[in-house]
Amino acid sequence: DFGFSTDEYRIRFRGARKSLSQTWVDFVDFSVKTLDGWITGSGVNDYDGLYSLFVKEHLLSNCFNDKLHQHLVDLGPIS
């Protein structure tokens, strides 16, 4: 556990890139831990929850209207 917020885990997972000095084992370990932190922190514990989490993230990452973006955030999990 790195102690990040749920959103920090998501950002670090999505932004992870293997560096030249990093082994593949270390990169996979970091990727798995940050993905797990994001999913766990989001309260997801089943396939439907995971599906909703990914759909919501996709919508939010493509929403450039501030009011709509905030509305989607306020809605919480998409079901």
Share of the chain above pLDDT 70, in %: 94
Q: Positive or negative CA dihedral for 16, 22, 28, 29?
A: negative
Within its chain, how far is the Cα of 31 from the centroid?
A: 11
Residue 59: which pLDDT band, with cuts at 50, 70 and 90?
Answer: confident
3-state DSSP assignment of residue 1: coil
d(CA 42, CA 10): 10
CB 62 within 8 A of CB 31: no
Q: Where are the domains of the chain?
A: 1-43, 46-79
pTM across the whole model: 0.76
Question: What is the average pLDDT value for the chain, to the nearest integer?
Answer: 88
Helix (H) or strand (E) holding 52, with range, is helix 47-61
Q: Is pLDDT larger for residue 2 or for residue 16? A: 16
